[in-house]
Amino acid sequence: MSSETLSQVLDHIDATIQGATAHLIELLRIPSISTDPAHKNDCDRAATWLVEDLKSIGFEVSKRPTPGHPMVVAHAGSTGPHVIFYGHYDVQPVDPIDLWNHPPFDPAIEDGTKGAIIRARGSSDDKGQLMTFIEACRAWKTVHGTLPGKISLFFEGEEESGSPSLVQFMTDNAKELTADIALICDTGLFDYETPAIITRLRGNLAEEMMITGPSKDLHSGMYGGVAMNPARVLSKIIAALHDSDGRITIPNFYDGVPELSPEIAAQWDALGFKVDSFLGEVGLSELAGEQGYTALEMIWSRPTCEVNGMWSGYTGDGFKTVLPSQASAKVSFRLVGKQDPYKIRESFRNMVEGLLPRDCSVEFTGHGASSGSEMATSNPIFEAARTALSDEWAEAAAFAGCGGSIPIAGHFKSILGMDAMLIGFSRDDDALHSPNEKYDLRSFHKGIRSWARILHQINIS
Amino acid sequence: MSSETLSQVLDHIDATIQGATAHLIELLRIPSISTDPAHKNDCDRAATWLVEDLKSIGFEVSKRPTPGHPMVVAHAGSTGPHVIFYGHYDVQPVDPIDLWNHPPFDPAIEDGTKGAIIRARGSSDDKGQLMTFIEACRAWKTVHGTLPGKISLFFEGEEESGSPSLVQFMTDNAKELTADIALICDTGLFDYETPAIITRLRGNLAEEMMITGPSKDLHSGMYGGVAMNPARVLSKIIAALHDSDGRITIPNFYDGVPELSPEIAAQWDALGFKVDSFLGEVGLSELAGEQGYTALEMIWSRPTCEVNGMWSGYTGDGFKTVLPSQASAKVSFRLVGKQDPYKIRESFRNMVEGLLPRDCSVEFTGHGASSGSEMATSNPIFEAARTALSDEWAEAAAFAGCGGSIPIAGHFKSILGMDAMLIGFSRDDDALHSPNEKYDLRSFHKGIRSWARILHQINIS
């Protein structure tokens, strides 16, 4: 493979971008809302559309039934590094529909703040993104009659409804889905000019606690100042979860949290992350996290403990002088390194129980527990991808972290023993999960070119 | 007036208790729910019923219009100490109606745990109670052809809907409503055998606060551990309102809180209040208030600060990893002695603002502010009433406090410069404001007798 091989493909991509956009529009017209039973057939139609499209590019492809919506699995090529590309064809619901400027399944090309955009539900999450990879494959096949290396595709139709069939499917089809690396296109650019390869994800642990004091709501005139108030107890517990430096006080919480290597810290510093505008966009001015860490370290490499919701007593209009019987909170943790979610759950629950006065009891409900993950960037495919992306974009690609938790990456690791490389082209203002979702046509076009470059680079490295 | 004068009346009350009950049932049949506009006419009917009934006893009586439901004001007699009796003829709504064992406005005589009861909305709050006074007057008038002393009556029809017309009416009719003492029958017995004269009421101050951090709800993966979380800020503030001894930490909060005199402390100790069963009935086992005080002191003579409600972020089923933009709480205070509600409001708000991090703001909404009140029990009418009640009941009457706030007592003091004596016969299990409200016929019968004795004692003292 020569650089000529690649530049022919890139030229073809540029010349046929209109056709590629038309393909995407076809897929966006299918309202494949996975969580809504009324759209079950639409999910199936989207899977079928992908099957037919991939067949036309020369993939050996099948629609695979699950208890929910079907998976699509495709394979092509037999030599070279084996990559498996993951994306999802299902989309979020569109409510509230009246906030959309345009019908969500009637894709429209509009002028955005930075060039043309395509407006539709799923344009960015994730149909537009998964089509960048398919279009790169189509272009390569058209120009060279074959694909660069050994490529598998794996499309899910239940990502937006909690992926209930995913783990079982990956377990049942482990051999077929195992490759040298997983490529996941469901993330964003670092900034407008800088692509990102996500190499670390935080895990997630969520706990709901309900504290009960008196057996019923009491009159605060009669019992106020005498009876235990669970709203006050809950507040004390939440207040006790952090010290004055923003560190989490749960015993042994930081076990397994690695210190960042000076190399990576330096890389992140070099990214020139604009803390002021990051915070300013949401009305804030100062970092509220653990003292002694930069913003990117707080988001990408440090664990957190946050209250996502809490409630107690009377919350309607006006006043009821009730002394509540119960108080509840939803607390979630982002985990990194080798932090063990199950040990932390236990330690958290023990700490809460230790803070309860004798007259209060607590009931916990666990909601998911996953570890953080860090990819082995020593795998040369990471370096190949970084080179390829840096060639396409104005700025060099960043090895970045992600504050969120992307379960599929963890599944590739835990079920199939593979690293995953998360590369995506969405932008912060794409309105994922919100009304008026959009995808920049620039993201789509340069995304296709990026994958062509990455596939080329992987195969020549 | 001789003791014979009284015993004739008491005998008559005993002989005619069936008829008195029939009167009460007539009034209870009128669904005078003041808060529901559909029952406006019923409120008027209840007022008219009272007017006609009082006329028949020889009162000069009128129904007085207000912007809401009418007041009923009546006068009789011209010599002796002047008492004005207050009660309210309106009742609470009856929802949830399906929890009633019997239609709420079709009064039924049933067997209760301690003798016969009358089951109906308003039986205890407040129609049954106000009728104890009217029946005492009726019996006296029937037996002696006149009433004992100078008696005024003042009935409101908006007590259960916040008394919107009360202050203006009292102000406009100050001269007419001013007497030597106000008698208010809207409280309970101390226990089954012990009547109570409420001589002190706590004031009330209610504050709602809404803390805003980020300008919108954020994703906790992206912003957790970086952005200020107002739910955590609110929890810290609530946790800071009390110290480890249960004392309230708001600066100058205790200004004007009197220490209890050893005499009153001894009186209260002598009441033999059963803390274990008081707490045990609501599933608690230990006093959670200010250390160093007895339960009755905590309820009757110490100020409190309680959370009545709080909420933030996602409170539905399952989990949303949202970092909330706002967190709110409803906090209320019970005040005693010379505590100034307006100064405390200011000090509370200053304290909260001082605890806010730079990126948070707070908005307060005040909901009412009233001082505590303590009656001048040196007024000989208090001693007369105590003697009378002690004669009627098995145990001596208690000068008691009340943890709640009864605004009408404060209005008599602040608008008319009068003390109020709160004497009532309801029991803890009367289910005021709840389905299946009831009033013990024993309370009704001994209540009537009690008022006859009190009126007698006042006029011979």
pLDDT in tens, B154-199: 999 999 888 999 999 999 999 999 999 999 999 999 999 999 999 9
Q: Give Cα separations from B358 to A244, B232, B240 (angstroms).
A: 15, 14, 18
Chain B residues inside the 8 Å CB shell of A314: 308-309, 330
Q: Could you report the per-residue pLDDT of B122-131, keeping only the tens digit for each? A: 999 999 999 9
For B55-111, give the DSSP string.
Answer: HHHT-EEEEE--SSSPEEEEEE--SS-EEEEEEE--B----SGGG-SS-TTS-EEEE
> What does the alpha-carbon distance between residue B104 and residue B157 come to, in Å, rounded to a whole number?
18
Q: Could you report the per-residue pLDDT of B399-449, keeping only the tens digit for each? A: 999 888 788 998 998 899 999 999 999 998 898 888 899 999 999 999 999
Assign A185 a pLDDT band (cuts: 50, 70, 90): very high
Chain A residues inside the 8 Å CB shell of B299: 222-223, 225-226
Given this model, what pLDDT does residue A2 score? 77
CB B108 within 8 A of CB B119: yes
Burial of B129 (0-12, 13-18, 19+ CB in 10 A): buried
Fold of B3-201+373-460: Aminopeptidase (3.40.630)
Q: What is the mean pLDDT of residues A121-137?
A: 97
Q: Is the peptide bond before B96 cis (omega within 30 degrees of 0)?
A: yes
Kindly identify which residue of chain A lies nearest to residue B242, measuring between CA atoms.
A232
Pairing of strands B373-374, B196-201: antiparallel
Q: Tell me if B3-201+373-460 shares its fold with B203-257+303-370.
A: no
For residue B217, is pLDDT > 90? no
Given this model, what pLDDT does residue B375 score? 87
Burial of B63 (0-12, 13-18, 19+ CB in 10 A): middle
Percentage of chain B surpassing pLDDT 70?
100
Q: Could you report the per-residue pLDDT of A255-291, keeping only the tens digit for each? A: 999 999 998 899 899 999 999 999 998 999 999 999 9
Any chain A CB within 8 A of the CB of B201?
A: no
Q: What is the mean pLDDT of residues A76-97?
A: 93
For residue A99, is pLDDT > 90? no
* Residue from the list B208, B224, B319 with its beta carbon closest to the beta carbon of A304: B224
Phi and psi at A236, nearest 5°, equal -65, -40
Two tokens, residue B302: 């110490």
Q: Do B312 and A311 touch (CB under 8 A)?
A: yes
Q: Do A314 and B309 touch (CB under 8 A)?
A: yes
Any chain A CB within 8 A of the CB of B311?
A: yes
Given this model, what pLDDT does residue A376 score? 83
CB B432 within 8 A of CB B91: no
Chain B residues inside the 8 Å CB shell of A160: none
Given this model, what pLDDT does residue A253 score? 98
Q: Could you report the per-residue pLDDT of B346-397, keeping only the tens digit for each? A: 999 999 999 999 999 999 999 878 888 888 888 899 999 999 999 999 999 9
Distance from CA of B158 to the nearest CA of A (A): 18
Q: Side-chain half-sphere of B237: how many Cα atoms within 13 Å?
A: 29
For residue A161, is pLDDT > 80? yes
> What does the alpha-carbon distance between residue A371 and residue B27 come to, in Å, rounded to a whole number?
68
B434 C-beta neighbours (distance < 10 Å), count: 13
* Residue from the list A222, A282, A309 with its beta carbon closest to the beta carbon of B313: A309
The domain ranges of chain A are 3-201+372-460, 203-257+303-370
For residue B205, is pLDDT > 90? yes
Kindly identify which residue of chain B lies nearest to residue A281, measuring between CA atoms.
B215
Q: Could you report the per-residue pLDDT of B12-52, keeping only the tens digit for each? A: 999 999 999 999 999 999 999 999 999 999 999 999 999 99
Given this model, what pLDDT does residue A392 score? 98
Could you identify the residue written with the tokens 């207040």?
A239
Kindly identify which residue of chain B lies nearest to residue A204, measuring between CA atoms.
B221
Could you identify the residue written with the tokens 């994958």?
A451
Helix (H, G, I), strand (E, B) or coil at B440: strand
Which residues contact residue B399 at a Cβ distance below 8 angstroms, ignoring those fewer than 6 apart? B196, B197, B199, B264, B267, B377, B382, B386
Q: Do A239 and B242 touch (CB under 8 A)?
A: no
- Nearest to residue A35, comparing CAs of A68, A77, A6, A57? A68
For residue A307, is pLDDT > 80? yes
Kindly identify which residue of chain B lies nearest to residue A301, measuring between CA atoms.
B225
Percentage of chain B surpassing pLDDT 90?
82
Kindly identify which residue of chain B lies nearest to residue A314, measuring between CA atoms.
B309
Given this model, what pLDDT does residue B95 score? 83
Q: To which H or E segment does residue A389 belong? A: helix A380-392
Distance from CA of A175 to the nearest CA of B (A): 32
Which of left, alpha, beta for B59 (phi over 0: left; psi -120 to 50: alpha)?
beta
Q: Do A224 and B315 touch (CB under 8 A)?
A: no
Q: Which of A33-42, A173-182, B372-381 has the lowest mean pLDDT?
A: B372-381
Q: Do A306 and B323 touch (CB under 8 A)?
A: yes
Q: To which H or E segment does residue B319 belong? A: none
Q: What is the mean pLDDT of residues A24-46?
A: 96
Given this model, what pLDDT does residue A219 score? 84
Any chain B CB within 8 A of the CB of A339?
A: no
B93-132 residues touching A, CB cutoff 8 A: none
Q: Could you report the per-residue pLDDT of A332-341, keeping only the tens digit for each? A: 999 999 999 9
Assign A237 a pLDDT band (cuts: 50, 70, 90): very high
Given this model, what pLDDT does residue A370 score? 85
* Residue from the list B216, B332, B359 with its beta carbon closest to the beta carbon of A285: B359
Assign B90 a pLDDT band (cuts: 50, 70, 90): very high
Phi and psi at B66, nearest 5°, equal -135, 175
Q: Do B318 and A367 touch (CB under 8 A)?
A: yes
Phi and psi at B444, nearest 5°, equal -65, -50
Class of the domain covering A203-257+303-370: alpha beta
ipTM of the shown complex: 0.86
B220-279 residues touching A, CB cutoff 8 A: 220-229, 231-232, 234-236, 238-242, 279
Q: How high does pLDDT run on average in chain A?
A: 94
For residue A429, is pLDDT > 80? yes
Chain A residues inside the 8 Å CB shell of B334: 220-221, 224-225
Could you identify the residue written with the tokens 């895990």?
A203
Percentage of chain A surpassing pLDDT 70?
100
Kindly identify which residue of chain A lies nearest to residue B368, measuring between CA atoms.
A319
Two tokens, residue A283: 């009305």
Assign A326 a pLDDT band (cuts: 50, 70, 90): very high
Any chain B CB within 8 A of the CB of A146?
A: no
Q: Do A242 and B222 touch (CB under 8 A)?
A: no
> What does the alpha-carbon distance between residue A7 and residue B388 come to, in Å, rounded to a whole number?
108
- Nearest to residue B223, comparing CAs of A234, A264, A92, A302? A302
Q: Do B289 and A367 touch (CB under 8 A)?
A: no
Chain A residues inside the 8 Å CB shell of B209: none
For B141-204, give the DSSP string.
Answer: HHHHSS-SSEEEEEEES-GGGT-TTHHHHHHHTHHHH--SEEEE---B-SBTTB-EEEEEE-EE
* Residue from the list A214, A284, A308 with its beta carbon closest to the beta carbon of B220: A308
CB A341 within 8 A of CB A203: yes
Q: To which H or E segment does residue A161 belong? A: none
CATH of A3-201+372-460, one of 3.40.50.410, 3.30.70.270, 3.40.630.10, 3.40.50.720: 3.40.630.10
Chain B residues inside the 8 Å CB shell of A227: 279, 282, 284, 288
* Residue type, position A460, single letter: I
Chain B residues inside the 8 Å CB shell of A224: 304, 306, 332, 334, 403
For residue A235, is pLDDT > 90? yes
Given this model, what pLDDT does residue A291 score? 94
Given this model, what pLDDT does residue A11 score? 98
- Nearest to residue B42, comparing CAs of B70, B21, B61? B70
Distance from CA of A307 to the nearest CA of B (A): 6
Chain A residues inside the 8 Å CB shell of B322: 308-309
Q: Do B304 and A334 touch (CB under 8 A)?
A: no
> What does the alpha-carbon distance between residue A426 and residue A439 come to, in Å, rounded to a whole number?
7
Distance from CA of B338 to the nearest CA of A (A): 18
Helix (H, G, I), strand (E, B) or coil at A428: coil
Assign B320 a pLDDT band (cuts: 50, 70, 90): confident
> What does the alpha-carbon distance between residue A432 and residue A92 come to, in Å, rounded to a whole number?
9
What are the beta bridge partners of residue A329? Answer: A209, A310
> What does the alpha-carbon distance between residue A246 and residue A290 come to, in Å, rounded to a whole number?
4
Chain B residues inside the 8 Å CB shell of A214: 282-284
For residue A381, is pLDDT > 80? yes
Phi and psi at B96, nearest 5°, equal -80, 120
Assign A406 a pLDDT band (cuts: 50, 70, 90): confident
Any chain A CB within 8 A of the CB of B284?
A: yes
Which residues contact residue B428 at a Cβ distance below 8 angstroms, ignoring those fewer than 6 apart? B188
Given this model, what pLDDT does residue A119 score? 97
Q: Do A286 and B202 touch (CB under 8 A)?
A: no
CB B148 within 8 A of CB B455: yes
Q: Model-level pTM?
A: 0.86
- DSSP assigned state of A114: T
